[in-house]
Amino acid sequence: METKIKAGIIGTGFIGPAHLEAVRRLEFVEVIAVARRGQERADKKAEELGVPLAYGDYREMLRNPDIDVIHNCTPNHLHVQINREIIEAGKHVLSEKPLAMSSDESRELLALARKHGIVHGVNFNYRQFPMMKQLSEMVKQNELGRINMVHGSYLQDWLLYETDYNWRLEDKTGGRSRAVADIGSHWCDTVQYVTGKKISQVFADLWTVHPNRKKPVSHSDTFSGSDEDQADGEYEDIPIHTEDYASVLIRFDDGSKGAFTVSQVSAGRKNALSFELNGTCKSAYWKQEEPAKLWIGHRDRSNEVLMADPALFLKKARPSIHHPGGHTEGWPDSVKNMMLKYYTFIREGKDPLKDKANFATFEDGHVSMCIMEAILKSHKEERWIQVQQ
Ligand code: SOE
C-alpha cells in the first residue's frame, strides 16, 4: 500500500481547521500534528480536531522527521519567519497569504524555496472553483474574443461595526494593508488566473471608515459576528491604520483595463467576490456565492447562464469538477481542490523548479505582495504606480 504523505498544521484559528478538513478528504495524505502556542492549548485543540500529535512550540514540529509538509495558518505577521524556518527544515510548505509583510521578504522566501527545491504553495483557493477552470479555458480558446475590460468587487460585512474586532485590523499583526491584502489579493489572483494577464499598473483610493475601533477585552475570532455577551462588556479604544475599503483602477500588461472595489464594511455582503470580463465577442460574469453559475452575455442574441456540469464543460476543465451538474461545489471544496493539486504535485514527484504547478505558488504570493505595495504607494502619492517585481 502507498505510504501516505504526512502533514502538520501550524495555527488553529479560522483557516487551520479549514485546511485540515480539506486535506482529510485526500486519501493519500494524513495530518498527524497541529501546533499552537502553549502545550495545554495545543493538546486541547488536537483532541478537539482528532489529530494525534500536539506541539505547543511549532519548532518542535519542524524537527519531526516523519512530517513531509507543513501548513502555515498563523496570523500574518508570523508568516515570513515561520515560512523561512519550514523551508530551512527541508519541508514542503503551504502558506496562507500574505506570504510576508513586504515584497522584499516574499522575494527572499521565493528564492529560498527555490534554493531548497521544496514544493511551495499559497492558498489562493478561489481560482480552484471548477467554474474558474472552465472560464480560463473559454478565455484560452478565445470564446470571449479579446478581453478588453475586467471589473468587479469583493465585499464583506464582518467588520462593519466599530465594535467588530480581530487581529487583522492591527498593522502589527495584520500588515500595512487589510482589505486589499486580505481579500483584494484573492480578487487579483483569480482574475489574473482566468484571463492569463498580469496587473501592471494601479491607481488606488483607500479609506479607513472606522479610524478608531472598540476592542472587546475578551477574545474575538474572524467572522465571529457580534457577541451578545459583549453587549455590556468592556472595550478598549484602538486607533486603526489599515483600510476598510479601497477602489482601484487597474491596467493589465496587454493594455486592457479594469477596476475593483473591496470592502469589509458593506452590510449584507458576506463573502461577495465577483467579477465580469468584457471581451470583443462575449462577456462573462461570476460570483463566488453562487459558484455553479456563469453568466454569459451576448450582443446579438439572448444571454445565457452556464451551470457547472462536467457534461457541459470544455474537455480541459472537466477534471476540475468532481460531481455531476447540480451537485454544487462551494468554498470548502475550492480549498480541497487547492490541496488536491498541491499534494498531487508532491505525490507525482514533480520538480518545482522545472514542472509547472496548477496551483498558486510562492511566485503568485510574491506577485500579490507587489500589487498590494503598488496600491498603497498609489494611494499615498495619488498617482498611477507600476507594479514592480
Ligand atoms: C477574512 O476577510 C477572510 O477569511 C479572508 O482572510 C479569506 O482569505 C477569505 O477567503 C474570506 O475572508
161 C-alpha to ligand 1 centroid (Å): 17
8 Å CB contact between 360 and 339:
no
Same domain, residue pair 231 and 313: yes
183 C-alpha to ligand 1 centroid (Å): 6
186 C-alpha to ligand 1 centroid (Å): 9
pLDDT for res 232: 60
376 C-alpha to ligand 1 centroid (Å): 20
Ligand 1 lined by 182 (C-beta under 6 Å)? yes
Same domain, residue pair 89 and 10: yes
pLDDT over 80 at 104, yes or no: yes
pLDDT over 60 at 230, yes or no: no
pLDDT for res 203: 99
**Residue 70 domain-assigned?**
yes
Total domain count for the chain? Answer: 2
Q: How confident is the model at residue 123 (pLDDT cuts 50, 70, 90)?
A: very high
330 C-alpha to ligand 1 centroid (Å): 15
8 Å CB contact between 250 and 199:
yes
Same domain, residue pair 352 and 325: no
pLDDT over 60 at 328, yes or no: yes
Same domain, residue pair 207 and 238: yes
Which atom of ligand 1 approaches the CA of 185 most closely? 8
Same domain, residue pair 117 and 180: no
Instruction: Compute the distance between CA of residue 11 and CA of residue 288 in angstroms, rounded to an integer.
Output: 26
DSSP string, 239-302: E--S-SEEEEEEEETTS-EEEEEEES--TT-SSEEEEEEEESS-EEEEETTSTTEEEEE-SSS-
Mean pLDDT of 278-292: 98
CATH number at 12 reads 3.40.50.720
Same domain, residue pair 274 and 344: no
Same domain, residue pair 249 and 287: yes
How far is C-alpha 54 from the chain's CA centre?
26
Average pLDDT over the chain, rounded to whole? 96
**Residue 198 domain-assigned?**
yes
Same domain, residue pair 87 and 144: no
* Closest Cα to atom 5 of ligand 1: 182
**Residue 363 domain-assigned?**
no
168 C-alpha to ligand 1 centroid (Å): 10
Ligand 1 lined by 328 (C-beta under 6 Å)? no
**Residue 96 domain-assigned?**
yes
pLDDT for res 222: 72
Mean pLDDT of 358-368: 98
**Residue 258 domain-assigned?**
yes
Same domain, residue pair 154 and 140: yes
pLDDT-above-70 percentage for the chain: 97
pLDDT for res 83: 98
pLDDT for res 1: 83
pLDDT-above-90 percentage for the chain: 95
Same domain, residue pair 64 and 170: no
Ligand 1 lined by 271 (C-beta under 6 Å)? yes
**Could you give the count of Cα atoms lying within 13 Å of 156 in the half-sphere of its Cβ?**
17
Tell me the three state secondary structure of residue 141. coil
For 1-5, 149-153, 288-292, 303-307, which range has the lowest pLDDT when averaged over its residues? 1-5
14 C-alpha to ligand 1 centroid (Å): 9
Which atom of ligand 1 approaches the CA of 264 most closely? 2
pLDDT for res 220: 67
pTM for this model (two decimals):
0.96
* Closest Cα to atom 6 of ligand 1: 182
Same domain, residue pair 318 and 180: yes
Ligand 1 lined by 183 (C-beta under 6 Å)? yes
pLDDT for res 239: 97
**Could you give the count of Cα atoms lying within 13 Å of 292 in the half-sphere of its Cβ?**
16
Instruction: Compute the distance between CA of residue 93 and CA of residue 362 in angstroms, rounded to an integer.
Output: 10
pLDDT for res 226: 54
Ligand 1 lined by 222 (C-beta under 6 Å)? yes
64 C-alpha to ligand 1 centroid (Å): 30
Helices marked H in 118-216: 130-140, 171-174, 179, 185-195
8 Å CB contact between 43 and 17:
no
Q: How confident is the model at residue 253 (pLDDT cuts 50, 70, 90)?
A: very high
CATH number at 266 reads 3.30.360.10
55 C-alpha to ligand 1 centroid (Å): 26
- Residues 349, 352, 356: CA angle, nearest 5 degrees: 100
Instruction: Compute the distance between CA of residue 59 and CA of residue 4 in angstroms, rounded to an integer.
Output: 23
Same domain, residue pair 114 and 150: no
Which atom of ligand 1 approaches the CA of 126 most closely? 10
Name the residue with higher pLDDT: 279 or 216. Answer: 279
**Residue 237 domain-assigned?**
yes
Instruction: Compute the distance between CA of residue 272 and CA of residue 134 in angstroms, rounded to an integer.
Output: 20
pLDDT over 70 at 235, yes or no: yes
Mean pLDDT of 379-387: 98
**Residue 364 domain-assigned?**
no
**Residue 85 domain-assigned?**
yes
pLDDT over 60 at 231, yes or no: no
* Closest Cα to atom 10 of ligand 1: 183
Ligand 1 lined by 270 (C-beta under 6 Å)? no
Domain of residue 227 covers 130-329+369-386
